[in-house]
Amino acid sequence: MGRKLPRGQRTVLEGVARLVREGLAPTSHDLTALLGLRPQTLRQHLEALARKGLVILHPRGHGRPTHVELTPEGRLLAGLAIPVVGRIPAGPLEEALEEVEGLIPIPGRPNLFALVVEGDSMAEYLLEGDVVVVERGVRPRRGEIAAVLHQGKTTLKYVYPEGEEVVLKPHNPAYPTLRLPAREVEVQGVFRFLLRGREGLEALGLLERR
């Protein structure tokens, strides 16, 4: 997700993403007009992006412009998708998973990622199988939902900082409130929005496999 590209390749990838956001199926002709690049220079950048697995090039024959398709990795790097990086229990703490399972093809930004909810400690607000999008690199305000890491395990709870401790509260009253030393708790991301039901997302084609 933090992959670096040379300036020219980054410019071309951003140009492809801009055209996709406008609802177009980009071609080499579109990109030449948009970016003001010489056709030979554009072709070199596109071929480099293709070798890196970020675009797929679809030549249409001599004299006709090549169609450019973003791969899932390209969509992710261009900010056109949010990565699903694993599962997070909304119940007892379980081992954190950090492998990318798929992509949600909606506009995102580099500090957003998604997690699949497991367990029912946040029911009826968050249900098992829901996909939650969280933002990393920010501190939760008092009472916000956050993904937190403690001793190598992760959970999703309401967060209440209290001096040298932090209180993690479930939504479901059947589960206990956790009180932990603040120095031992790492906020992985603050809840931003919810996509209801992983199966529903897959059925609608809103969850792409990498």
User: What are the pLDDT digits (tens) for 137-195?
Assistant: 899 999 999 999 887 788 899 999 998 999 999 999 999 999 999 999 999 899 999 88
Name the active-site residue from 52, 153, 157, 169: 157
DSSP 8-state code for residue 124? T
Distance CA 94, CA 204 (A): 29
User: Tell me, which fold does domain 82-203 have in CATH?
Assistant: Umud Fragment, subunit A (2.10.109)
How far is Cα 150 from Cα 186, in angstroms, rounded to an integer?
7
CATH 1.10.10.10 residue ranges for the chain:
7-77
What pLDDT is stored for residue 126 in this prediction? Answer: 87
130 vs 197, residue with greater confidence = 130
Which range has the worst mean pLDDT, 10-14, 95-99, 121-125? Answer: 95-99
Active site annotation includes 121:
yes
User: Considering the entire predicted model, what is its pTM?
Assistant: 0.70
Q: Please give the DSSP secondary-structure letter assigned to residue 187.
A: E
- Mean predicted lDDT score pLDDT of the chain: 86
Q: How confident is the model at residue 62 (pLDDT cuts 50, 70, 90)?
A: confident
Arithmetic mean of pLDDT, 96-109:
71
Q: What is the pLDDT of residue 1?
A: 41
Share of the chain above pLDDT 70, in %: 89
CATH 2.10.109.10 intervals, the chain: 82-203
- Average pLDDT, stretch 8-12? 96
Res 129: pLDDT: 84
CA distance 74 to 83: 12
Q: Are 166 and 150 in contact (CB under 8 A)?
A: no
Fold of 7-77: Arc Repressor Mutant, subunit A (1.10.10)
Question: Among residues 52, 121, 153, 169, which one is catalytic?
Answer: 121
